[in-house]
Chain A
């Protein structure tokens, strides 16, 4: 090893989608790259890597977080949920995922994981949210395909089901 060139690495331990995982990461690696490259969880998409588009949003300790703006080392000890962790183990879709399909809340699907995780965290904390609050909640997630209306409709429908304890 030459000290000038070999990148320093840090060991981290975190919980991802209910499973404890370990990683050896460069301090500069962001959480999104760690999830995609080290864990193969490619459902988290990188759309801008400067924290505006929201496609890479994951849930960290209950909060929606842009995984391109959080370093992997900062997630040491955290509990992370990605889009892969939303459906039940038997494959049953989360009410948000089912509502997105029923309301055509996705077209190309690239912003979708970030929309789902953002809304998952938001509706869990704000189960009675109305349309205007939902629009505000996803105002940090860019979608070029849908015009947002079908996403809002899906979120309203899912909120009703989530409140019903489904």
Chain B
């Protein structure tokens, strides 16, 4: 295998269309006779619905239908649970349209269908819903108290599930530890905010009865799996297509009420219907991550080596369980971080609140654990007056310990094992770039400037089970087609798949095209979540292309009458090395596609193609360390990020330019979590940050250049040696920024155990510390 494309920063094959306005996102699709929908949504966080009056709305010009749950025949038929778990005490999924009660602001109540979106929105505002408001659960800290209001009327409590992860003897480790420190850590993470909101189109073919659903989803196969049985249809009658998707970041992974409502309405009205979420809806109706509160203790030896962690996490799951326990579960799967702990005992309690449901957002609970563990590591350094890097150096899993069984267990009960890595090299390569920092910090302080250096390390479990697959096929024109279930949302998957296939089949990358995210073109898929597609999708393309290569060489060997060992594939032709004899892949493909009356070569299946599935039997672990230099204005509390360095190990790099893009985008998402993004609700559960003036996203002027150092320890668990790269940027970033701010404020003895931090909050922390 030549390494022409694999490992090179190849420009993306996706780009030409996207750069010229030919992206074809969901809202760009227009079908003949298509109507448009808007939703009536709850304005209360918790209320009984007494009556819904649609009379006025129904009689507006341009209105085709106004449908409640009863009209649509979906009353009393909640959505299926995506991820069942025996740990779930109260199984609560949302109804497609609420008919009896609503449990968060934004919950769907009725669908209005009009000739245009404008007509539908006008009429939606005229649907009268008579509510009987109920007390709302909005404060996670008290949500599990016995006297808390219930998020769902008649429920015994607001408790969803208790999860526990544990190894070693924590009592013994904490009893003999020289140091034990306790922290309460409060974390908030904001929402998704892909620049493209969600959207759905549903259309049923009148003659075949085939239902086609286009959705701006990360997981079209999961949409089909949820939708078909709910509609009472065979899966073969439901085709789900993810068109060009404008960013996913997690919340486009679950299935939503709108997908069900559009499908049902299109079938009922017998015409195609489109719904596109607007940004105001996105703030309330697209899942978020939000609060976790940690009460934890860390045990350390006399040198500051971390020995054990124990404690409890309280997790806000919002009003429903659209995604089972995947988000709290991913939180728990992030232990023990990069640390070789002797004992761990963590309990997590997930609670219902009357707020928008929560599911994974980029990082998915891992940034929360990284923040907590890194705050504990910094605390040890502060208390023992040692270098923060030394706590990491002494506590990390060492290179010679790989493969390293952490002590934790996977969902199937198997031990979690770090497959490969070099945590110390990542740490040292980042740390050495700041060798002069302490002297600069000292100089700056003399001028009244407060510089700080932050540090944060992390691991990321990637390549989540079970599988992704691909078909690789040489077409009779010699061009290569890759079909896969793994949909992309901007990562550049088509390019990396094309790189892998082009190398193995000896064709220029321009001759490879990729079709993905369409249940009608490939039979099985899972979805683009948990940094899994390069690992599983990439490996399946590698496996399928390898088989096609073998097939081509075998047939060429017969047709050219040469030994396979003497054959090379170059520029789309199989050559007998050192001769002028060759045959085109196109000729081989045509031979195997068959001609009537001419038998295929013996023991050969039709077509110069192959299908392969790569199963992720075990997770592969990416890892790294980030350092950030900030300056804090102690009068105004503003933070300027001066420098940011990432040392990162995601195994072999298929396309370094794309990996760098994933890392930078991920880091900036984490910077948003540290300094800007806060989804605020008032005490009655009303969201108060529902536009980009109130909810702040990072912009170009706040963000520094991000320097990236790649350490490559190939994964032994897949044929291409890769690990996922989609979330590693985000996981440590908030921890790193907060660490830097705390370091800058050392003269004030400010300790920080929360994020995000607004300038006002930083100024308050300084004032508070001065006062004590």
Give the interface of A toward B (CB within 8 A).
5-6, 26, 28-29, 36, 40-50, 52-53, 55, 82-84, 86-87, 93, 97, 100-102, 104, 106-113, 116, 134-136, 138-152
> How many Å lie between the Cα of A5 and that of B62 in the bound state?
10
Interchain CB contact under 8 A, A47 and B11: no
Known: A110-B246, A113-B21. A55 touches B195 (CB 8 A): yes
Interchain CB contact under 8 A, A108 and B700: no
Which residues of chain B have C-beta atoms less than 8 A from A83's C-beta? 19-21
> How many Å lie between the Cα of A135 and that of B699 in the bound state?
9
Interchain CB contact under 8 A, B21 and A146: no
Across the two chains, which residue of chain B brings its CB closest to A148? B700
Known: A109-B14, A109-B490. A149 touches B21 (CB 8 A): no
Partner of B25, one of A29, A110, A144: A110
Interface-side segment among B50-58, B518-526, B548-556, B662-670: B662-670
> How many Å lie between the Cα of A102 and that of B249 in the bound state?
24
Interchain CB contact under 8 A, A100 and B19: yes
The minimal Cβ–Cβ distance linking A86 to chain B, given in whole angstroms, is 7
> How many Å lie between the Cα of A55 and that of B196 in the bound state?
9
Across the two chains, which residue of chain A brings its CB closest to B671? A147
Which residues of chain A have C-beta atoms less than 8 A from B27's C-beta? 36, 42, 46
> How many Å lie between the Cα of A84 and that of B28 in the bound state?
14
Partner of A108, one of B9, B60, B245: B245
> How many Å lie between the Cα of A27 and that of B705 in the bound state?
44
> How many Å lie between the Cα of A86 and that of B14 in the bound state?
18
Across the two chains, which residue of chain B brings its CB closest to A96? B19
Interchain CB contact under 8 A, A101 and B490: no
Known: A42-B27, A55-B195. A138 touches B700 (CB 8 A): yes
The minimal Cβ–Cβ distance linking B666 to chain A, given in whole angstroms, is 8
Interchain CB contact under 8 A, A151 and B700: yes
Interchain CB contact under 8 A, B12 and A104: yes
Interchain CB contact under 8 A, B701 and A107: no
Interchain CB contact under 8 A, B703 and A149: yes
Compute the total of residue contacts between A and B using a CB distance below 8 Å. 170
Interchain CB contact under 8 A, B279 and A50: yes
Known: A107-B661, A109-B14. A43 touches B195 (CB 8 A): no
**Sample of 7 A–B contacts (CB below 8 Å):** A48-B691, A101-B15, A101-B16, A109-B15, A109-B23, A147-B668, A148-B699
Within 8 A of A (CB), among B466-512: 489-492
Partner of A50, one of B15, B61, B657, B692: B692
Interchain CB contact under 8 A, A147 and B278: no
Known: A83-B20, A93-B20. A48 touches B697 (CB 8 A): no
> How many Å lie between the Cα of A15 and that of B693 in the bound state?
33
Which residues of chain B have C-beta atoms less than 8 A from A143's C-beta? 195, 700
Binary A-proximity of B649-680 (CB < 8 A = 1, otherwise 0) = 00000000110110011111100000000000
Known: A107-B492, A113-B21, A142-B697. A52 touches B664 (CB 8 A): no
> How many Å lie between the Cα of A113 and that of B195 in the bound state?
12
- B431 touches A (CB below 8 Å): no
Across the two chains, which residue of chain A brings its CB closest to B248? A108
Partner of B28, one of A42, A100, A136, A152: A42
Known: A142-B692, A147-B703. A108 touches B667 (CB 8 A): no
Partner of A147, one of B25, B30, B667, B691: B667
Interchain CB contact under 8 A, A48 and B700: no
Partner of A146, one of B9, B60, B664, B701: B664
Across the two chains, which residue of chain A brings its CB closest to B17? A109
> How many Å lie between the Cα of A111 and that of B9 in the bound state?
22
Which residues of chain A have C-beta atoms less than 8 A from B693's C-beta? 50, 52
Which residues of chain B have C-beta atoms less than 8 A from A138's C-beta? 700
Known: A6-B61, A45-B25. A146 touches B15 (CB 8 A): no
Which residues of chain A have C-beta atoms less than 8 A from B692's C-beta? 48, 50, 52-53, 142
Interchain CB contact under 8 A, B664 and A150: yes
Which residues of chain B have C-beta atoms less than 8 A from A147's C-beta? 661, 664-668, 703, 706
Partner of B196, one of A44, A86, A110: A110
Within 8 A of A (CB), among B21-45: 21-25, 27-28, 30
Which residues of chain B have C-beta atoms less than 8 A from A45's C-beta? 25, 195-196, 246
The 5 closest A-B pairs by CB, nearest first: A43-B21, A108-B490, A110-B246, A109-B18, A147-B664
> How many Å lie between the Cα of A93 and that of B61 in the bound state?
44
Partner of A110, one of B12, B195, B664, B705: B195
Which residues of chain B have C-beta atoms less than 8 A from A87's C-beta? 20
> How many Å lie between the Cα of A47 and that of B192 in the bound state?
13
Known: A108-B246, A139-B701, A148-B700. A43 touches B11 (CB 8 A): no
Within 8 A of A (CB), among B182-205: 193-197
- B318 touches A (CB below 8 Å): no
Most B Cβ at <10 Å: residue of A43, A109, A111: A109
Interchain CB contact under 8 A, B21 and A41: yes
> How many Å lie between the Cα of A74 and that of B658 in the bound state?
41
